[in-house]
Amino acid sequence: MIYTYQYRLKPTTEQKLVLNDWLRICQYWYNRQLGERFDWWEKNRS
């Protein structure tokens, strides 16, 4: 049997700001890499 756990976070205002910054950075890099893959696909498709 597999158990899963859920944790509820209650960050302070300062922690929320830091988490928001990290999420924005991750979103930027994800979208940039996705765009590069799409550009590569367009160049190399037959």
pLDDT tens for residues 9-32? Answer: 999 999 999 999 999 999 999 999
Question: Is residue 39, in this structure, part of any structural domain at all?
Answer: yes
Residue 38 belongs to a domain: yes
Q: How far apart are CA 34 and CA 14, in angstroms?
A: 30
pTM of the entire predicted model: 0.69
Q: Convert 23-42 to b/e letters by CB count within 10 Å (16 or more is b).
A: eeeeeeeeeeeeeeeeeeee
Total structural domains in the chain? 1
- Would the pLDDT of 39 be above 80? yes
Question: Does residue 25 form part of some domain?
Answer: yes
- What pLDDT score does 9 carry? 93
> Would 35 be classed as within a structural domain?
yes
* Higher local confidence (pLDDT), 45 or 31: 31
Any domain includes 33: yes
Provide DSSP, 18-45. HHHHHHHHHHHHHHHHHHHHHHHHHHH-
CA gap 17, 25 in Å, rounded: 12
Could you tell me if residue 2 is inside a domain?
no
Note down the domain range covering 40.
13-46
